Structures are given as C-alpha cells and as structure tokens.
Chains A and B, each alone.
Chain A
Amino acid sequence: IMSQHIFTLFILLGILYLAPNSEDIRCKCICPPYRDIEGQIYNQNVSLKDCNCLHVVEPMPVDGKDVEAYCLRCECKYEERSSDTIKVTIIIYLSILGLLLLYMVYLTLLEPMLKRRLFGHSQLIQSDDDVGDQQPFANAHNVLSRSHSRPNMLNKVEHAQQRWRRQVQEQRKSVFDRHVVLS
C-alpha cells in the first residue's frame, strides 16, 4: 500500500509539473550606465514578442536620437516561471515533513507511554529483549530454527509495522552502534 501511495504521488507530481505553467512571465531589461545616467533594471509583464528595449524601458531616460544608442547597450531577457509549481512543491514538502515529525514524536514519546499503560511494565521489557541482538551475518539456520509458525495476525498493519521497526533497529545498530557500515 505504501509503495502504491508513493507511486501515485510520483504520477501526481509528474502531471503537475508537466502541466502548462501559469502566467508568470516577465521581460527583464538591464541597461548599464550611459553618460550620466546610472544603471537601471526594468521589469515588465510582457510577452515574448514585445520583449525588447522599446517596449519595456519606460520612461525612456534619453530622448530622440540617443534612444537607439542607449537601447543597443541594454540587454533584454525573457523569463518565465511557474509560481504554482513552487507553491505546490513547498506545500507537499512541508506536509510530508510535518507528518514525519508527528510520527517521530508518536514513536519516540507517545507509544512507549501508551504501551506501558496498557500492557504493564513487564511486557515492555520482554518486547525489547525479543528483538535481540542479531548479527548482520545471521545464519539462515538460526533464523529458521526459531520455528516461528506463520502468525495469524488479525491486524496486518501491526505486523508490517513490527517488521519495519525491527529492520530500522537493525540498521541503527549497524550504522550507529557498531559502525559497521557508513562510518
């Protein structure tokens, strides 16, 4: 289910990004200092065909015959952006970050408290020991000989979550405690 969600997220992202951009266009003309006129930047919301010095530089600081010389020095660039893409991206990112933060707070603070209240202190210790200290070089023999029959779980999500947490604990041991990988 998780991978399907991620897949749909990718497709959504793809559709959003490849959709036509909103009307965020501008023509930016940069005119360097000329005689006693200082350098100026002119921005205007014009389309590509109107993106030249004559349309964008208003008011024109020089007059008459100097306009051409002034405009020759100016460099006009047409730029386009998509503010919708940026907005959607930031919102998606912040929401995922927020969800992860909430889940992290739940996992580290709330869940042990809830478990302790519901099941008592002894169960908590036992489940910690159960995870055990498994070497990454665990023999398949040891794994099999523990004779776990396939658990009849009513809640498959609980089972998957347990497996994932064991996996993360293994990874944490390898990386942080034993410094075996990714030193």
Chain B
Amino acid sequence: MEEEDAAADPYLPYDGGGDTIPLQEIPRRGSNYAMSNGGGVASSTTHLLDFLEEPIPGVGTYDDFHTIDWVREKCKDRERHRKINSKKKESAWEFTKSLYDAWSGWLVVTLTGLASGALAGLIDIAADWMNDLKEGVCLSAMWFNHEQCCWTSNETTFAERDKCLQWKSWAELILGQAEGPGSYIMNYFMYIYWALSFAFLAVCLVKVFAPYACGSGIPEIKTILSGFIIRGYLGKWTLMIKTITLVLAVASGLSLGKEGPLVHVACCCGNIFSYLFPKYSKNEAKKREVLSAASAAGVSVAFGAPIGGVLFSLEEVSYYFPLKTLWRSFFAALVAAFVLRSINPFGNSRLVLFYVEYHTPWYLFELIPFILLGVFGGLWGAFFIRANIAWCRRRKSTRFGKYPVLEVILVAAITAVVAFPNPYTRQNTSELIKELFTDCGPLESSQLCQYRSQMNGSKAFTDNPNRPAGPGVYSAMWQLCLALIFKIIMTIFTFGLKVPSGLFIPSMAIGAIAGRIVGIAVEQLAYYHHDWFLFKEWCEVGADCITPGLYAMVGAAACLGGVTRMTVSLVVIVFELTGGLEYIVPLMAAVMTSKWVGDAFGREGIYEAHIRLNGYPFLDAKEEFTHTTLAREVMRPRRSDPPLAVLTQDDLTVEELQGVINETSYNGFPVIVSKESQRLVGFALRRDITIAIENARRKQEGIMLNSRVYFTQHAPTLPADSPRPLKLRSILDMSPFTVTDHTPMEIVVDIFRKLGLRQCLVTHNGRLLGIITKKDILRHMAQMANQDPESIMFN
C-alpha cells in the first residue's frame, strides 16, 4: 500500500522493524476490534462503555518474526462478519456492503491469478530471450530468441533447420566467421562473459534492493502460512526484484529452476492484492487463505498443471486448508493458467516447454527398471538433502558466508566454464528436459536419435523400431553421463545462493538424464537379446517396444519425489504434463519407491530440512509425537529457573508494570487475581501492554508513574489523592487455553497443532503453575529427536 496511507491506517502492519507505531485515533468502528476472544459478548451489548473505551490503535497487530494467534484472528473475523450481517437489513447501502464483503474473496483470487499469469508470461519470454543472448543475436529483430528468429525462414533442409540467416552467433559478429577453432573460443568467451555479467547483476540487485528475494522461497512461505510473520517478505520490492533477478539467474546458466520462485512471486501478488480489501488486510488468518490460493496459482503457471497446483498447495505449502480455500485455489490456478495460455510464450499454445504426448504402451516387465529409477531417485534425494544442508550450514556459520557476491560469481564461472563444451549442459535446462522427454521419431535429428537403420537402402525409413544404436547414440550417452555428474555436483552448491533459485527443474533434469540412459540401455538390451523370455513375450522385432522418453519422464518424477517427498501432487503434475492416464502406474510405482527409499534415510524433504536449518517455528503437521512426557516436564519455569513472571489484576502501578516489561523478554504475561491465590484471570501480551501504556500517556490526562493499573471491570478503591488509574481490561485475553500439569504432551502438541496456539498455561489444582510456548514444544521435540534444541530461534 502507499507509504502515506500506512501512517494513517494503524491496522496496517507497519513495515520495517524500526519505525514508530502511529498512534492517531481512528474513527470509532463500533464494537471493539481489539477485544479478545470471549470479551465479544460484553462489548457488543454495552454501548455506553464503547463510547468511553475506544479501541486502542495498534493493539491486535503483531511484531516481526513472531507467530500470529490463529484463535484471535478467527474470532475477529467472525465478529466482523456478525456485524456486517446484523447491519445488512438496515439500508440498501449496507446490503451492498455485505455483498461486496462476501464477494471480495473471489475478487482477490481472480486478481491474483491474473497477475501471476501475466508475470509468469513475462518471466518465460524474457528468460528465453536472455538465455539465447549468450549465444548470439537476431539481427532483424533484436527481441527474438533463436527459435523465434528462425521462425519464418522458408525451406530449410532437415539437417540445417536451426540455422538461418538472421541469427548470428557472437563469433560471426565479432570475428566474421562462424566455424573454426577461433570462433569456438570466441563463442566460449562470450558465453562466460554473459553468464558472469547476468549473475553479477542478479546478486547486486538482490543485495541492494530486496535481500529477501533470494533463495527459493518455499520454506519461508510454508512457515508464513503456518502463522509466522516475516515483514517485507511478500512486499512490492521483493516481488519486483524477484521477477527481474529470476530471469537473470536463469539466463546465466546456473543450475537452478524457476518454479519455486514463481510460487513466491504468486504469493507476493496475493499479499499485495489482499491489501486492497480490508477483510483480508486486517486479518492475518484470512490473508493466509489468499496466500494458499496464490501458491496454487504459482505452481499452476510453472507446470501448466492447475490441479497439480492445488494439490501442491494442499500437500506442501499450506497449514490450514479449509474447503472454501480448495475451491478458491482451483479458481486462481485456472485463471492463471488461462492468462498464461493466452500470452502463449512458447508459440505452441502449451504452458510448459516440455509438454509431450505419448501414446505408446508400456509393458509389465518395464516395472523393474521403473522401480530401479525410483530407488535412484530416493538415493539421490537423500544424498542431495544431506549435502546441501551441510553446505548451507557451512555458509551460515563460517566466514565463507560473508562474501555472497563473490560466491555467486565463482559458482556461475565454474558452471559456465564446465557447461559450455558439453552440448547437453550448454543448452537451457528446460530444453534439455524436452529433448530427453521427446521420443525419437522421423523428425528428430538430435544425436540421441541416430540409430543405425537395419534395412537396406530401399526401405531407408522405419517407424520407431527397436534399432541398434549408432555411434551417435553412444557418444550421446557418454555426454549425458558427464552431464549427470556435473548437474548433481553443481546443484548442491547452487541451491541456496543469494539469487532466486528453484529446485524443480534441476532435479527433473537429473532424473530425466538418468531415465533416458536407463531407457536406452533397456532398449539395446531388448534388441540384442530379443530371444530372452521377457522380451519374446511382449516385444516383436521391428515393432515399437521400449520408449526411452517414457523412462526419462519416470526418472524425472522419481528424482523430484525423492528430494521434495511430494506424493500425490507430483503424480498429478506429471500426469497433467503428459496428458494421459496411461502412465499412472509406472509413475506411482517410481514415486512411491523413491519416497520409501528416501524416508529410510531421513524423514524430511528439502523444504522441511531448510526450515529446521533456519530455526523457524514450524510445527510440522505430518510428524507424530510419540513420546510419553507430561506437560509439567516441558513447561517453564523449570525448577532452576526464576519464578513465572505474572501480573496481578489490580495491584500494580505503571512504574512496576514497566519494570516487569523492561526486565524480562517474555512475549506475554499471565494475569492472576493475587499473589496469594494464584488464580488465573487472563493473559496479556507484551506488545499490547506497551502500546496501551504509551497511548494512555499521550491521550489521557493524569496518568503518572504511580497510577494504578487494573485489569478488572471496575477500578479498585484508592485513596482520594491518588492519580487517575489506568484500565487495561480491553487488552486482556479473558479465555487463555489451559491444561493441567498431568496432561500428556501428545495431547498438548495436538492442541497446538489443531488450534494454532502460541502459548498455553499450565495449572495445578486450579492454580497457575507455568506456561508452555510453541518454542518450548519445538525445543522439546528437537531434544527428543536428539537434535540441537538451541537451533530453534524464533517464537
């Protein structure tokens, strides 16, 4: 939103951690939004008190890097909805407002889908163009990439269909000749130069304008959707820089993809549009519904798979996914896919470069190599997660992480130098995947398809028989093996760099290379040993038996599943990519095998591993808590700690209250009746108390340091000359959740997960004993799993 408006509207979470909280009065909005859950009944009936107790601006918002209170947000939303419904019948204007309120959800989701589709089209077209800029330019129209430049050339021969007069490589432009060692070296040099300059630009832009734009974004979005607040992570500058630098990073030839960052871009769009509607901008829980729908739109434009996008949002990214969100996510994904299709970035009305259509059947014996591919995918996934986390940890903790720009340039230089000689790594990774997925037909002239024809000259053409491999295929296999090793190594160092980097395309590329190699191997096996029992049963000589392209696809799915541990969403995405239900069984076999093999080495996918590395307070809904500890073993204070910091309900002065807040760093304080009885009244948050005190000191006269602070409805009896007391009942949460000290931790963890709590009070025989926060639970779980409990940093 506009910066000027941000100062005027106190409910807008302010940007940045250093600004003052604006404290103007807002016009009275009826019943108190700052009321806690449970206090709603009293406030709506006593209008007299509403006049006296205006809502304190700023109360109800959250600090940066803190968790939201889901219960409070949902109550606020229900309150707002009740108010609108009750005023609906008063006038036509109110009725229109209620209709607008009901439909604003659909409007936000539509706008998000439109923006995501448009931005994805921009990213695709720009990335394609800049990628080809490394090889040459199109002289007749500078904005065309290689394929578009040669689009209108007539009658190119079969062998030379990639060459046309308008496209000039750099060697041709600078040296004047297209072939020869000199031009090869010049092409090599220009390739490295462009790759380095793109990478340098990308990291500089990220560092100067929006440091939050680096990385994939999916671990942070998962955490945000579970209730964490990271201010600025989904803002305008992050959106713009992420879009621009994603194109640069992809074009520089680094081993990364753009799917994860596209999810971040879509969520930024969703966040920005939700600020246009007060229903979503003021309520953090409702905003997360929009973000779930936005992430579905992001995956949908990345893969051209709307249903897969919704399932990805459901399985991987979202924390709470009510049914209403399901329908809206699907709508957002469809709108985004439709917009992208009408932009038509690839010129073939497809949304993804590597869309293929297969109609060839597969045979039961092929399940063995498919399962082998699944095992490979699981093993690679486990290896990659361990290696990448080890590397990221080293980058985080040692001096090596102090030079991000240098690191990016170094990785880009190594990638460019090693990738250029091998034609399979020189080209765009998406094109490589497309080439591997595409089956060999009479139209293909790539090296992979140079089979020896077995017939004599009169029947020089054959339709896809099992053919022996020509020398072209063997050299292609060697190059593919080298490309596989190169990609496996470079992706470990590339994921986590300070540029936008995604993981889907590199893992699919690794899987596709492995799958194609296995496919060609099986094909040759079937040709040379066609008298084996297996092959004789199903294959006939001269008929189409093995399709290596299918193996590439299954391999890609297996590797992607092994590293992210996605199940349903991955199968649906790949099946939407191929357009047919025929290959569901091989896909599922491979994906399930890779998940089981990967789980044998560690239960976390790459995103959960990064969440744990960063110490985000993410309570994983998929893990089960199986230990038998009780609440009193986890609660604070422990025996050796100082006693629980509590507030009494009408005993404190302003000075004492400020002293408590200054001396401790807790986020909230339980309020008890008195120190003798220790009976619980409610819970007050630190931020709300400080805002209320500041507000009172500015607005109300007579509040001094020794004014009494009371949380009750009526002021306590005070001597006549004492200063005016301060009533803080409006910020008190009157219904905090409590458990007894003998409650098993399984139930406590369940309560935290299902309700989205931040803290829970522990009582013993009705008296307050201690407190359990989400951070305590995460630390306890880490301790039980023999991990370092001090790595949980946020609360």
Question: Which residues on A are within 8 Å of B, measured CB to CB?
Answer: 1-4, 6, 10, 13-14, 17-18, 21, 24, 26, 30, 32-35, 38-45, 73, 75, 79-83, 85-87, 89-93, 96-97, 100-101, 104, 107-108, 131-132, 134-141, 143-146, 148, 150, 156, 159-160, 163-164, 166-168, 170-172, 174-176, 179-183
CA distance A134 to B16 in the complex (A): 10
- Per a CB cutoff under 8 Å, which of A2, A89, A108, A175 touches B122? A89
Contact between B614 and A181 (Cβ–Cβ < 8 Å)? yes
Question: B125 and A90: CB pair below 8 A?
Answer: yes
Mark interface residues in B203-244 (1 if CB within 8 Å of A CB, else 0).
Answer: 011011111101100001000000000111000110011001
Binding site for A on B (CB under 8 A): 1-4, 7, 15-22, 63-65, 114-115, 118, 121-122, 125-126, 129, 141, 143-144, 148, 151-159, 161, 201, 204-205, 207-212, 214-215, 220, 230-232, 236-237, 240-241, 244, 247, 272, 275, 339, 342-344, 347-349, 392-393, 395-397, 401, 404, 442-443, 458, 460-461, 496, 498, 610, 613-614, 658, 661-662, 665, 686-687, 690-691, 694, 793
- Specify which chain A residues have a CB less than 8 angstroms from the CB of B208 in the assembled complex: 104, 107-108, 168
Q: A180–B233 Cα gap in the complex (Å)?
A: 14
Chain A nearest Cβ from B446, distance in angstroms:
14
Q: Which residues of A contact B344 (CB under 8 A)?
A: 21, 80-82, 85
B404 contacts A176, CB within 8 Å? yes
Provided the pairs A87-B141, A93-B247 are in contact, do residues A17 and B158 lie with their beta carbons within 8 angstroms? no
Q: Which residues of B contact A81 (CB under 8 A)?
A: 148, 151, 344, 347
CB distance from A107 to the nearest CB of B (A): 6
Given A107-B208, A168-B211, A182-B212, are A89 and B121 neighbors across the interface (CB < 8 Å)?
yes
CB contact under 8 A between A136 and B64, given known A17-B342, A183-B613: yes
Instruction: Give 15 pairs: A residue, B residue, CB < 8 Å, sorted on A.
Output: A35-B460, A40-B157, A40-B158, A73-B461, A75-B443, A83-B141, A89-B122, A97-B201, A150-B20, A167-B17, A170-B18, A171-B211, A175-B212, A176-B404, A183-B393
Contacts of A104 in B (CB 8 A): 204-205, 208-209
Across the interface, which residues of A come within 8 angstroms of B153, CB to CB? 43
* B148 A86 Cβ-Cβ under 8 A: yes
Q: Are A150 and B22 in contact (CB under 8 A)?
A: yes
Chain A residues whose CB sits within 8 angstroms of the CB of B161 once the complex forms: 41
Contacts of B1 in A (CB 8 A): 3
Given contacts A1-B2, A139-B690, A182-B220, contact A39 B20 (CB under 8 A): no
CB distance from B1 to the nearest CB of A (A): 6
A39 CB, nearest partner CB in chain B, Å: 3
- Tell me which residues across on chain A come within 8 A of B158, comparing CB atoms: 33, 38-41
Contact pick for A32, options B4, B247, B461, CB 8 Å: B461
Given known contacts A87-B141, A143-B18, A170-B17, is B209 in contact with A100 (CB within 8 Å)? yes
Please name the residue on chain B nearest to A34 by beta carbon: B461
Other than A3-B236, A13-B118, A86-B148, give 11 A-B pairs with Cβ distance below 8 A: A3-B2, A86-B143, A89-B126, A100-B240, A138-B17, A140-B687, A143-B19, A144-B21, A148-B20, A171-B211, A179-B401
Expressed in whole angstroms, the Cα–Cα distance for A30 and B208 within the complex equals 50
A144 partner residues in chain B, CB cutoff 8 A: 20-21, 690-691, 694
- Pairwise interchain contact B236-A6, C-beta atoms closer than 8 A: yes
Greatest chain A CB density within 10 A among B22, B339, B347, B395 is at B347
Bound CA–CA A73/B691 (angstroms) = 78
Query: Which residue among B2, B275, B658 has the maximum number of chain A CB atoms within 10 Å of its CB?
Result: B2
Min CB distance, B21 to chain A, in Å?
A: 7
CA A141 to CA B502, docked complex, whole Å: 39
Contact A163 B209 (CB under 8 A): no
Whether the pair A164, B220 counts as a contact (CB closer than 8 A) is no
Q: Is the pair A131, B18 in contact by a Cβ cutoff of 8 Å?
A: yes
Q: Are A179 and B209 in contact (CB-based, < 8 A)? A: no
Residue in B3, B214, B614 whose CB lies within 8 Å of A160:
B3
**B residues within 8 A CB of A91?**
143
Chain A residues with CB below 8 A from B348, complex form: 79
Contact between chains at A43 and B690 (CB < 8 Å): no
Q: How far, in whole Å, are A43 and B18 apart by their CA atoms in the complex? A: 62
Q: Decide if A43 touches B152 in the complex (CB within 8 Å).
A: yes
* A158: min CB distance to chain B, Å: 11
Query: Which 10 A/B pairs are nearest by Cβ-Cβ distance?
Result: A39-B158, A32-B442, A160-B3, A167-B16, A90-B143, A141-B690, A175-B211, A81-B347, A183-B396, A179-B396
B154 and A180 form a contact (CB under 8 A)? no
CB pair A86–B144 under 8 Å, yes or no, is yes
Q: Tell me, in angstroms, the Cα distance from A33 to B215 when the chains sit together.
A: 48
The minimal Cβ–Cβ distance linking A166 to chain B, given in whole angstroms, is 5
Task: Output the residue of A6, A131, A159, A168 with the most chain B CB within 10 A.
Answer: A168
Question: Considering the chains assembled together, what is the distance between the CA atoms of A70 and B279 in angstroms?
Answer: 65
- Closest A residue to B269 using CB positions: A10
Contact assessment for B16 and A100 in the assembled complex, using a CB-CB cutoff below 8 Å: no
CB pair A100–B205 under 8 Å, yes or no, is yes
Residue of A nearest to B392 (CB): A183
Residues of A within 8 A of B151 (CB): 24, 26, 43, 81
A86 with B125: CB separation less than 8 A = yes
Distance between Cα atoms of A100 and B244 in the complex (Å): 10
Q: Which residue of B lies closest to A33 (CB)?
A: B461
Set of chain A residues within 8 Å of B496, measured between Cβ atoms: 183
Cβ of A4: which chain B residues have Cβ within 8 Å of it? 2
Q: How far is the CB of B789 from chain A (nearest CB, A)?
A: 18
> Complex formed: what's the CA distance from A18 to B114 in Å?
11
| Given A79-B347, A144-B20, A170-B16, residue A176 in contact with residue B121 (CB < 8 A) | no
Q: Which residue of A lies closest to B239 (CB)?
A: A6
* B contact residues around A86 at 8 Å (CB): 125, 129, 143-144, 148
Task: Give Cα A89–Cα B121 distance, bound, in whole angstroms.
Answer: 9
Name A5's closest neighbour in chain B (CB-CB). B236
- Beyond A143-B18, A146-B20, whether A182 also contacts B157 by CB under 8 A is no
Whether B211 lies near A164 (C-beta < 8 A) is no
The CA of A109 and the CA of B555, in the complex, are separated in Å by 49
Q: Which residues of A contact B210 (CB under 8 A)?
A: 168, 171
Q: Distance (Å) between the CB of A173 and the closest chain B CB?
A: 9
* A75 proximity list for chain B (CB < 8 A): 443
Instruction: Decide: A167 near B232, CB < 8 A? Known: A14-B118, A141-B690, A144-B694.
Output: yes
CB closest chain-B residue, reference A97 = B244
List A contacts of B401 (CB < 8 A): 179, 183
* Bound form: Cα–Cα A177–B156 in Å: 55
B244 touches A183 (CB 8 A): no
User: Which B residues lie within 8 Å of A34 (CB)?
Assistant: 461
| Distance of A132 from chain B, by nearest CB (Å) | 7
Complex formed: what's the CA distance from A14 to B155 in Å? 36
Q: CA separation between A100 and B339, bound complex, in Å? A: 27
Chain B proximity of A96: nearest CB distance (Å): 6
A138 x B63 contact (CB < 8 A)? yes
Residues of B with C-beta under 8 A to A87: 141, 143
List, in ascending order, chain B residues with CB within 8 A of A2's CB.
2-3, 236
Question: How far in angstroms is the closest Cβ of chain A from B336?
Answer: 12
**B residues within 8 A CB of A137?**
63, 65, 665
Residues of B within 8 A of A163 (CB): 3, 15-16, 19
Q: How far is the CB of B312 from chain A (nearest CB, A)?
A: 21
Q: Which A-chain residue is minimally distant from B393 (CB atoms)?
A: A183
Specify the chain B residue showing the minimal Cβ separation from A44: B154
A60 to chain B, nearest CB (A): 13
The answer to whether B232 touches A171 (Cβ under 8 A) is yes
